[in-house]
Amino acid sequence: MKSLTVKATATLLATVIGTGAAWSAESLQDVMKRRGLSQQDIMAAAKTYVPTGKRDEFLAFSSGGQSGQILVYGIPSMRILKYIGVFTPEPWQGYGYDEESKAVLKGGWIDGKEITWGDTHHPAISETQGQYDGQFLFINDKANPRLAVVDLRDFETKQIVVNPIYKSEHGGAFVTPDTEYVIEAAQYAAPLENKKFYPLEEFNEKYRGGVTYWKFDRQAGRIDPSKSFSLELPPYSQDLSDAGKGPSDGWSFTNSFCSERYVGGIEKGRPPYEAGCSAKDTDYLHVINWKKAAELVAQGKAKKINGHDVLMMDTAVKEGVLFLIPEPKSPHGVDVTPDGQFIIVSGKLDTHVSVYSFDKIQAAIKAGKFESKDPYGIPVIGMKETLHTQVQLGLGPLHTQFDAKKCVAYTSLYVDSQVAKWDFCEGKVLDKISVHYNIGHLMTMEGDSVDPKGRYLVALNKLSIDRFNPVGPLHPQNHQLIDIANDKMQLLYDMPLPLGEPHYVVAIEAAKLKPGVRYKVGTNSRTDEPHPGKVRAGEERVERDGNKLKVYGTLIRSHITPETIEAEVGDEVTIFLTNLERAQDETHGFTVSTYNVHASIEPGKTVSVKFKADKEGVYPYYCTEFCSALHLEMQGYLLVKPKGWKATTKEIAKAAYTETDYRATLKKVVDTQAVIDSVVGFITSTNYKDFPDVVNMVEDATDQLNKANDAKARHEAAAAKQDWEQANLWAEQVWQYQVKAADIGIRAKTYLEQNGAKKIK
C-alpha cells in the first residue's frame, strides 16, 4: 500500500473543498455524516457509481432461475439493463404474445404440450478459440430439459430445442472452445425412452443419465439437432460440465452426485434422498473424449433413441472415450483452468478443493492404469494418481473461477458463506472474504474463458435476510460485487435480484458486444428473414379470404394505419405490423382490447398478432409505448359486427371548422417553424457532425418534417376546394409532424449543450 504524497494530498483537499462549494449547500462530509457512510463506503461508491450517460465496463448475463428468463446487468454499477424472455412469455417484449415469438416458444413444447416457463441455470457466451466472442448466448432449462439460443445482436431468443432423451437437466449450457458444441448433462436419472415407465425397483438397470452435445451452426446462428448426439451414462445424477481447452481441448468433464444410486422414500420410513445420496465419500467425475465420440457417431456407432443419436455406454467404453475418476462427495462445480491443464472440483460436503492434472489423467489412460470398473464396466482412474493438489478451503466449497493473474482462483464456500482466493499451482489459500449469505456460484470477468479479465468478482448469494428493505416473505437474492484488483478482496456493492433466482452468471467486456439499434425494414426478428407480411408506407391493405381477415399495417409517430379494422363475428384476424421508424428507441407497441395479444415493434421490425374475433362489439387498439407527445392518440377501433349486419347510410359527424380555424392553424404552423428554425440554427452552428447520436437525431427530425409535405399538399388542396374541415385537420397534421421534429431537435440541442459541442460559426 502506498501513502499519498504531499502534492497529491493538497490536490485532493482542493478537490473535496471544491465539491462542497460548487455543488450544493452540503459538503461531502455533511453527506457522509447524514447518511452514516464510512470512508470505505465512499471508496466503494466511487468504484461502482456510473454517472449519467457513461457506460459500464462489463455486461453480465445471468440466469433467472425459476423465472425462465435471462437478465443482463452492468458491472460495476450493478444496474439491470434488460430481462430477456426465454422460456417464459413476457408481454413487454411481445414474447409469446405475437406470432413470431410464439413460433420460437413452440419449439420448446414437449409431447405437443405448451410449456410456459423454465428453470434456467447456466448461461454460456459463445467462444472463439476459448475467448468470449459476444455473438450468442445459450441457456438451459432444468425442469423441462431444453436449451435456448439468444442472439446478442438484438438480445432476442431465436431458438428453443427440447432434449429428446432426458426428463431433467441441470448441467447446461457449457460450450467447447470454438462453440462447436453446447454441452448439456442430465440430472435425475430416468428411462431414456420417451413416455416409458419402469418401476424404481429397476432403477439400476433401466434408469439412465447422460450428456448431450448440441451441434451449433454459427453461420445459421442455430443449433442443428440432426447433428447433435448424446452419451448414455449411468444413473448417477450428472451435474455440471466444463469443456477442456488448450492441451485438454477435445475432452469434457462432467461430475455427478448420488452415485450411490440411492432411492429415497421418507414417507415409507426410508431415509430421504439427502441421507442416502451423500453416504459415500466420493462420487464420479466423468471424463469424456467428445471429439472421438463425435467421430464414432459420424461412423454410425450410435443408437437411435427417440430419433436421436445416443452413443451407448458399452460402445463408449469399448472405444475408449469414457472414463471415471472418484471426486470428493457431492460435488457441484467442475472448472477447467484457463491454461487447460487442470480440472478443479469441489465436493460440497468435503472441505477441500481438488485440482486434477489433465496430463496425469492422460498418462493413466495411455498406460491403461485403472483402479477398477464401475458397475457398468466404465474404467475408473485412481484419484490420488491424477491429483495435482488438494487445498483445504472451508465448509461447503462449490464453484471456482479464475483471475487474470496466473494460478489465482476463487472458490465459493456455501456453509462458511465466504469466497476463498487461492493459488491452484502452489496449492495455498491467499485470502478470504465473508458474503451474505450462502453463496452458490461466483463469477469473475470472463472467468471461465482462456483469458480471464480479473478486476471484479460477483458472489451469487442465496439468502438475503438482513440485507435489504423487507418486501414480504419472498426475498430478493443478493449479488455482491467484490473488488479483486488488489491482494485483499473488498466488498463493493449489494445488488438485490428483483425477479427470479439466478444460479450462474457470465460477464463479458462491454466493448466486445456490438448490438444493433434497428432492423432492416420488414424483418422477422425471430428468423432474421424478410417478413412476408411487411409493407411500406402507402401499401397498407386488408385482405379477406373467407373468414380469414389479414391486415397489413404500419406504425409511425403517432398513428397506426389502418385506424379502423372491420370484422365479422367469427373471423380469424391476423394483423401484420411494420414499424416504419428509423430512429433509435422509437419502439411502438400494439394491442387490441381484451383479445390478449401484444407486440413490441422496434424500428424496422415486422410482427403479427392473430386472434379469433369471437365477440361482437367495439374494441379499441392502440400503441402501448409512450412514443411521442401524441401517443395516447395513436389509436384505432376493431369493429366486430354481427353476421349479416348492414351499414347505415349515416356519415361520420364532421367538425364545423371554418376558414378562420384553418388560418389560425396555419399561423401556429408558421410560429412553430420559427422555433424549429431557431433550434436548427443552434445545431448547425456547432460541430454536431462529430456526435453520431446527434446526427441520427437530425436525420430523424428531417424525416418528420419531410412527412409533413404530404399533409401540406392535402390541406392546400382542401383549402382550394373550401373544405375547411379537411383543410384545418391536415394543417393540424402538418403541425403534428412539426411538434415531433421540434421534440427531436430540442433533444439534440440538449445533448450538444451537455456534451461539450463547440461553436463553429
Q: Tell which positions 379-438 bind its own copies, by CB under 8 A.
A: 395-396, 414-417, 434, 436-438
**In degrees rounded to 5, what are phi and psi of residue 468?**
-130, 170
Q: How far is the CB of 364 from its own copies (least distance, A)?
A: 27
d(CA 226, CA 504): 29
Nearer to its own copies, 26 or 426 (CB): 26
CA–CA dist 53, 10 (Å, integer) = 30
Residues 359, 229: Cα–Cα separation, whole Å:
27
Closer by beta carbon to its own copies, 177 or else 234: 234
- For residue 582, which amino acid is it? R
Burial of 333 per CB tally in 10 Å (0-12, 13-18, 19+): buried
In whole angstroms, how close is the CB of 233 to its own copies at the nearest point? 16
Could you say which residues in the range 195-224 bind its own copies, by CB under 8 A? 195-204, 207
**728 forms part of the interface with its own copies (CB under 8 A):** yes
Minimum Å gap between C-beta 430 and its own copies is 16
Per CB under 8 A, does 747 bind its own copies?
yes
- Only segment of 320-328, 400-408, 451-459, 748-756 that touches its own copies (CB under 8 A): 748-756
- What's the min distance (Å) between Cβ of 251 and its own copies? 25
Options 517, 666, 712, 723; binder of its own copies; rule CB under 8 A: 517
How far is Cα 83 from Cα 70, in angstroms, rounded to an integer? 6
Among 236, 257, 358, 724, binds its own copies (CB under 8 A): 257
Q: Does 466 bind its own copies (CB under 8 A)?
A: yes
The span from the CA of 746 to the CA of 591, in Å, is: 30
Q: How many other C-beta atoms lie within 10 A of the C-beta of residue 198?
A: 13
User: Which lies closer to its own copies via its Cβ, residue 361 or residue 748?
Assistant: 748
* Nearer CB in complex with its own copies: 214/437: 437
DSSP bridge partners of 561? 554
Grid coordinates given for 175: 460450450
Pairing of strands 548-556, 571-579: parallel
CB of 292 to its own copies, least distance (A): 30
CB 588, CB 580: distance < 8 Å: no
- List 103, 266, 298, 713, residue binding its own copies (CB under 8 A): 266
Q: Are 340 and 245 in contact (CB under 8 A)?
A: yes
Q: Where in 180-199 is the site for its own copies (CB under 8 A)?
A: 187-188, 190-191, 194-199
* Residue span binding its own copies (CB under 8 A) among the ranges 316-324, 361-369, 382-390, 746-754: 746-754
Q: What count of other Cβ atoms lies within 10 Å of the Cβ of residue 684? A: 12
Q: Which of 374, 540, 690, 723 touches its own copies by CB under 8 A?
A: 540
- Cα separation of 712 and 595, whole Å? 37
Q: At which residue does the C-alpha cell 461508491 appear?
A: 45
Residue among 499, 512, 690, 723 that touches its own copies (CB under 8 A)? 499
CA end-to-end distance (rounded Å), the chain: 51
Q: Which residue number, 111 or 545, has a Cβ lying nearer to its own copies?
A: 111
Question: Between 648 and 687, how does the x/- string for binding to its own copies read (CB under 8 A)?
Answer: x-xxxx-x-x---x---x----------------------
Asked whether the beta carbons of 173 and 147 are under 8 A apart, the reply is: yes
Of 542, 419, 531, 421, nearest to 481 by C-alpha is: 419
CA-to-CA distance for 529 and 518, rounded, in angstroms?
14
Stretch that binds its own copies, among 75-83, 245-253, 358-366, 680-688 (CB under 8 A): 75-83
- Strand segments (E) across 531-597: 541-545, 548-556, 559-561, 564-568, 571-579, 588-592
Tell me the closest approach of the beta carbon of residue 362 to its own copies, in angstroms: 30
- Given the rule CB under 8 A, which of 123-131, 216-224, 317-325, 628-636 is the region that contacts its own copies? 628-636
- CB nearer to its own copies: pick between 596 and 722: 596
Q: From residue 338 to residue 357, what is the string marking binding to its own copies with x (rule CB under 8 A)?
A: ----------xx--------
Sign of the Cα torsion 368, 372, 378, 382 reads negative
Instruction: Identify which of residues 274 and 426 has a Cβ nearer to its own copies in the complex.
Output: 274
Which residues face 566 on adjacent strands? 639
634 near its own copies, judged by CB under 8 A: yes
Q: At 23, list the grid cell.
A: 455543488
Least separation in angstroms between residue 691's CB and its own copies is 9
Binding to its own copies (CB under 8 A) within 299-328 occurs at none
Q: Is 647 in the site for its own copies (CB under 8 A)?
A: yes
Shortest distance (Å) from residue 248 CB to its own copies: 26
Confirm if 599 and 101 have CB atoms less than 8 A apart: no
Residues of span 1-30 touching its own copies by CB under 8 A: 1-4, 8-9, 11-13, 15-29
Read off the DSSP letter of residue 531: -
Provide, rounded to whole angstroms, the least separation between the CB of residue 144 and its own copies: 5
Applying CB under 8 A, the span of 72-80, 217-225, 290-298, 378-386 interacting with its own copies comes to 72-80
CB atoms < 10 A from the CB of 546, how many? 7
The yes or no reply on residue 620 touching its own copies (CB under 8 A) is yes
- Rounded Cα gap, residues 683 and 700, in angstroms: 14
Compute the least distance from the CB of residue 84 to its own copies, in Å.
9
Residue 554-573 contact track with its own copies, rule CB under 8 A, x = bound: ----xx-xxxx---------
Q: Which among 199, 260, 256 is positioned nearest to 233, based on CA atoms?
A: 256
Stretch 108-167 residues interacting with its own copies (CB under 8 A): 110-111, 113-117, 119, 142-145, 153-156, 167
CA dihedral 6, 11, 15, 18 (to 10 degrees): 110
Q: Which of 470, 546, 644, 681 binds its own copies (CB under 8 A)?
A: 470
Site string for its own copies, 573-612 (x = CB under 8 A): -----------xx-x-x-x-xx-x-x-x-xxxx-------
> Which of 425, 510 has the CB closer to its own copies?
510
Binding-site residue total for its own copies (CB under 8 A)? 256
Which has the closest alpha carbon to 532: 99, 95, 89, 91?
99
SS3 389: strand
Find all residues with CB under 8 Å of 536, minimum gap 6, and list them. Answer: 521, 554, 578, 580
Residues 503, 458: Cα–Cα separation, whole Å: 12
Does 102 help bind its own copies (rule: CB under 8 A)? Answer: no
Identify residues 35-64 at the interface with its own copies (CB under 8 A).
35-56, 59, 64
Instruction: Name the grid cell of 176.
Output: 467447447
Binding of residue 91 to its own copies (CB under 8 A): yes
Shortest separation between residue 81's beta carbon and its own copies, angstroms: 5
Grid coordinates of 198: 419402469
Asked if 464 interacts with its own copies (CB under 8 A), we say: yes
Q: Check: CB of residue 123 under 8 Å from CB of residue 105.
A: no
Dihedral angle of Cα 174, 178, 179, 184, to the nearest 10 degrees: -30
**Whole-number minimum distance, CB 23 to its own copies, in Å?**
5
The yes or no reply on residue 465 touching its own copies (CB under 8 A) is yes
